[in-house]
Structure 1
Amino acid sequence: MKKLLLLVFALMPVISFAQGFQVNLEGEKQIGMGHTGTGLVQDGASVFFNPGAVAMLPQNYVQGGISPLLFKSTFNPQGTNVEDHTANKIATPFTFYAAWGPKDSFWKLGLGVYTPFGGLADWGDNWQGKYVLESLNLKAIYIQPTLSIKLADFLSVGGGFVYNRGSVDLTQAIPLTNSAGQDGQAELKGTGKGYGWNAGIYIVTEAGITVGITHRSEVNTTINNGTALFTVPSSLSAQFPQPNTFSSSIPLPATTSIGFGFYPTKQWTLALDVNMIGWDVYKVLAFNYGTVEPAGLQNTVEQRDYQDAFSFRGGAQYKTNKNLAIRFGGGYATTAVEDGFVSPEAPDANRAFVTGGLGYTFANHLDLDVSFEYEHVMSRDQTNIQTQLAGTFETNVYIPGISLAYHW
């Protein structure tokens, strides 16, 4: 019984902020161009993509957008023809940006509110991996004030402070049945906070090519006094102390990016971004419970040993006239999750994606931008070394998006 309880609670995926949950939906113009933007000056989303470029914006901006995300994952248990599917639930990553400075000034202030990490998965209570995960809903909302300074016509720099507010709500079956044959269940709910920064530099070369370099720091997010709720047979309730709390520390990784902008004609803009995501900070998963039970629930530390990951993105924009823009792009990203650690809250693998979008400017001051992304996470046959859940995961993601930006 003690080993069973340790396995159940050590493997609860509250830490799954750090399992492939980098959302990458921080601007509709940029999504349409394959998520490029580090080396471009486009709109208020530069607060996220490159704070150094904000001072180069020719106008002030206020904008907001949303990118509903449908995550469809399939699991085929090893040695069977069974297929388990996630429910059709939609996550709603959003963005808000503002950039302001006096006309013709050398500086601009910026503010960004966005969701760079998050996830929504619901496998139900009757699938092969229900003792690992039933459902998960998590968000990391970053708030970033920014200062950007134009040092010369060809050079600007900027940086911002980041405050993160994270939340998690998950359910998981417990392999203990009552007299009616129903599984027990655990639910973990909590909120946490963390702090970080980002900085960037933007350069216009003599050849007209623009270059951006940025770094977004690790944000170590701490959850304190989360609520742990257990539904178990009454005969075993003493081994699941209630009411109970938990705490954990979650390292959301740093990202370093370099991006390039090319302008072969007045109508065309081409872009290329390369990103390195520092997932190697995620070495262990640790839980500390407010009340432990020597014969059952105990604090746990489990190895994760993630590796750094990379993404390669390219995109283009064609302006048919001063008001209408057509965008398209795509890219490839490597997984941070090594063999033996793939799990159902984010069945991660190498992935490829394609994007497209349209933009239209009304009366020279209001931009309407729409985008769409299709992302395919490669099939991956795995046996988790901790839960022993064995089978093949395959995932497809569908993401429409829309934003409005007012500029003056």
Structure 2
Amino acid sequence: MKSKILALLGGTLLSASAMAGGYQVNLASQRQIGMGHTGTGIQTGTSSIFFNPGAMSYLQENGVTVGASALVSYISYRSTNFTSATAEADNPVKTPFQVYAAFSINDKLKAGLGAYTPYGSTVRWGDEWNGRFGLSELSLAAFYFQPTLSYQLTDKIGIGAGLIVATGSVNLQRQLPLQGPDGNEPGIELDGSADTGFGYNVGIYFQPSEKFSLGIDYRSRIDLKVEDGDITYSNLPNSATALFPGKTFSAELPLPATLSVGIGYHPTERWTIAADVSHVGWSAYDKLRFDYDQPVAGRPFSENQRNYDDAYIYRLGAEYKATDNLMVRAGAYYDNTPVQNGYLTPETPDSDSRGLSAGISYGFSDKFSVDASFLYINKEERTDTGEFSGGVAGTFKSVAYIPGIGLNYNF
């Protein structure tokens, strides 16, 4: 029984952290969401702070952008073992946001500040489903703050760099395979905040002609550490308390580096076409170790392999200036999963993803405009054993509907 409890606990913790590393929320700009989240090789306004700091040096006006999305996701599960158990996650709506501000120091030098949420989700499976000993609920949030400088070397080349300051939090709950004093299963909850982590975002933007532009952007790996996260138990029987004296945990999570290359094509003054390819270094996430202040299920630590693969994201988008005040957009992308067979978990039932998007912008004046976007994500149905990650054997299917709105003010 002791070894079974330990295996379940270790696998769950590692899977929860995979949510932060293996599940990426690409919702950094309402305008760019409408274009398939392209933006590395074109000028995107204040959101160049995220997509390519080198392009920020070409801004003609000071500006502030505030935006948010409503992430509505659905995840279903079907057992492939000896039962016909099914479940659907009851996920609340999440609201990832972005805030950007850019200012001119002089004609060539620009300064900016960005705040955005590249990771974050909540999944609620409940305490009655087939995998409740792996997970009943997980909430994750990560926040990035990025002060940035950008300099226009020539009329055709701009460079930029930003310091990323990252922080976050995680809350995980699950049931224990025991019988509590009241006859119900005990529960365990892990709650922790990450120490501040640091990274950088650098970019080069090149526009050789009025019709063509290209860019390269690199966001570095960031290691987030949780120290003295709280472990609490509910309904634990007296006979099992000796196995669970641990009250705090610590762990380290690598958030992988991303290298993006993008091109822009402007066939006419009204059209902009963009394409991006991103390489995400998920192979940095090979394993995680969790250390406890006192033993949990008889062990002072737990460790599990993850062995993620590097992955690519392919994006395509277009924007059309219908009138002086109205712009319309559309885009698509394909995102390869980094999760190998045998490592799928109910926290992140990841698979290859396809996204379709659309968006509009309307300018009410020279200073004020509104962006609106909609993104549909469809992850391929995937059956997996989860044998190497402490996951739950079965078939998972995920879709998401993500409307968003943004406000822009130039001065």
% identical equivalent positions: 40
Q: 2: distance between equivalents of 1:116 and 1:354?
A: 19
Q: Select the residue among 224, 235, 252 that pairs with 2:227.
A: 224
Aligned runs of 1:27-106 on 2, under 5 Å? 27-79=29-81, 80-102=83-105, 105-106=107-108
Q: CA deviation at 1:194?
A: 1.1
Aligned runs of 1:292-307 on 2, under 5 Å? 292=295, 296-307=298-309
Aligned runs of 1:250-329 on 2, under 5 Å? 250-292=253-295, 296-329=298-331
What letter is aligned with 1:264?
Answer: P
Q: CA deviation at 1:271?
A: 0.5
Q: CA deviation at 1:19?
A: 4.8
User: 1:17, 1:252 within 8 Å by CA — same for their partners in 2?
Assistant: no
Q: CA deviation at 1:26?
A: 0.2
Kindly tell me: are residues 3 and 390 of structure 1, through their superposed partners in 2, closer, same or farther at Cα, counting changes over 3 Å? same
Matched residue of 1:175: which SS?
Answer: coil
Matched residue of 2:191: which SS?
Answer: strand
Aligned to 1:159: 161
- Give the RMSD, CA atoms, in angstroms: 1.4
What letter is aligned with 1:283?
Answer: D
Matched residue of 1:201: which SS?
Answer: strand
Q: Which range moves more in the overlay, 176-185 or 352-361?
A: 176-185
Which runs of 5 or more residues in structure 1 are unaligned? none
Q: 1: distance between equivalents of 2:303 and 2:205?
A: 42
Matched residue of 1:288: which SS?
Answer: strand
Q: CA deviation at 1:95?
A: 0.5
Q: 2: distance between equivalents of 1:384 and 1:340?
A: 4
Deviation sequence 1:305-362 (CA, Å, 0-9, x none)? 1100110000111111111000100110100000000001110000101000110111
Q: CA deviation at 1:206?
A: 3.4
Q: CA deviation at 1:9?
A: 2.0
Is 1:241–2:245 an aligned residue pair? Answer: yes
Q: CA deviation at 1:14?
A: 3.5
Matched residue of 2:50: which SS?
Answer: helix
Matched residue of 2:31: which SS?
Answer: helix
Matched residue of 1:91: which SS?
Answer: coil
Q: 2: distance between equivalents of 1:339 and 1:298?
A: 29
Q: 2: distance between equivalents of 1:127 and 1:213?
A: 45
User: 2:92, 2:122 within 8 Å by CA — same for their partners in 1?
Assistant: yes
Deviation sequence 1:201-227 (CA, Å, 0-9, x none)? 000023631101000000100111110
TM-score, scaled to structure 1: 0.96
Aligned to 1:356: 358
Q: CA deviation at 1:105?
A: 1.2
User: 1:14, 1:188 within 8 Å by CA — same for their partners in 2?
Assistant: no
Deviation sequence 1:222-265 (CA, Å, 0-9, x none)? 111110112221221121115x1110000011100001111011
Aligned to 1:123: 125
Q: 1: distance between equivalents of 2:126 and 2:60?
A: 50
Q: How many residue pairs get matched? A: 405
Q: Select the residue among 339, 359, 368 that pairs with 1:337.
A: 339
What letter is aligned with 2:184?
Answer: Q
Matched residue of 2:178: which SS?
Answer: strand
What letter is aligned with 2:239?
Answer: S
What letter is aligned with 1:98?
Answer: A
What letter is aligned with 1:108?
Answer: K
User: 1:196, 1:219 within 8 Å by CA — same for their partners in 2?
Assistant: yes
User: 1:18, 1:282 within 8 Å by CA — same for their partners in 2?
Assistant: no
User: 1:199, 1:216 within 8 Å by CA — same for their partners in 2?
Assistant: yes
User: 2:21, 2:253 within 8 Å by CA — same for their partners in 1?
Assistant: no
Which runs of 5 or more residues in structure 2 are unaligned? none
Matched residue of 2:378: which SS?
Answer: strand
